[in-house]
Amino acid sequence: MVCVAQMAKAETYNAWGAVLFSYIKTPMYDAGETLEVTADSIFFSSATWGEGRFGIASGEGDLTMSGHGSAKAYAANITGTVAGGVFVISVPSVMGGTVITSTLGEMPAAVAVAGSYTGGTYANCKYFSKYGAAADQTVTITANEGYETATLTHTSATWGTFTFSAVSVVANADGSYTLTGEGTCAMPSMADPTQVKDYASDLTATITDGVLVAEMKVPAVMGGTTLLFNPADFETVGIGSVVANGSDDEASAVTLNGQRTADGYRGIVVKNGKKVLVK
């Protein structure tokens, strides 16, 4: 049963939705929902999920959705309160059971940026620039429970897995978002990929018009290494050359900690812009 106080006139509320059904593990989000509450009915509207009408007393009604063909009405029910700010719409016969949790108010920033972003990457550090350019890379952002922070992850074939589990997301006046956080980079050993070491990592990123630009910094590797995601000039870059304060020969081999190697050194080094194992 829907618990909504009797109202002298209709009130319309802006809302955002989190949608789950049996085929997905993480919610799909919908920013443009409205709920109109009258003395005897609730009217729901979403550009993505359709329109529905539900009786106040019973909570029963239907949701009209458009699929690949014409629009179709499905039996549904609603529960919730205006005071609580949340309404839950259940549509049992759609996609194995669809549940729309519609929350009154503005969508949190952490929810607004959730999704997968595709772009390119390369790495910069004291000893090289634009190293290991790679296309078709993915960064995934998920909203954490409570929607106050987000989790950002990225896996690189070269550098390992970056995880930032408490990312601050700020909505800017121009419609863009700023993301900052601390996390780790789980970097595999070149000698034995099953051996992985965690390095502290820092994240700074922006999302503008759906485009993510991110810097993932690992201060302890090679004097400070930064992996850039989706830089504007990505398509024009290749593997850069080693750059240092000495000659090319002097800087041609450095450890992951940024130290120049002496004769006879054995282990993982960066040489001429490439990560190699010296045996």
Integer angstrom CA distances of residue 131 from 89, 242, 244, 275 = 50, 9, 14, 10
* DSSP conformation letters of 194-257: T-EEEEEEEEEEEEETTEEEEEEEETTSTTSEEEEES-TTGGG-----B--SS-TTTTSEEETT
Q: What are 60-99's pLDDT values in tens digits?
A: 999 999 866 688 999 999 999 999 999 999 999 998 999 9
Task: Specify which of 3-7, 127-131, 203-207, 241-245 reaches the highest per-range mean pLDDT.
Answer: 203-207
* CA angle (92, 98, 104) in 5-degree steps: 120
Say if residues 155 and 137 touch (Cβ distance below 8 Å): no
CB 195 within 8 A of CB 230: no
Q: What is the pLDDT of residues 200-229, one digit of tens each?
A: 999 999 999 999 999 999 999 988 999 999
pLDDT tens digit sequence for 122-153: 999 888 888 888 988 999 999 999 999 999 99
Radius of gyration of the chain (CA): 25
Record the pTM: 0.77
Task: Please determine, for residue 239, whether its predicted confidence score (pLDDT) is greater than 80.
Answer: no
Q: Which pair of structure tokens corresponds to residue 147?
A: 């929607």
Q: Which helix (H) or strand (E) holds 138?
A: strand 131-143
pLDDT for 108 beyond 50: yes
The DSSP letter of residue 25 is S
Task: Please report which residue ranges of the chain form alpha helices under DSSP H.
Answer: 109-112
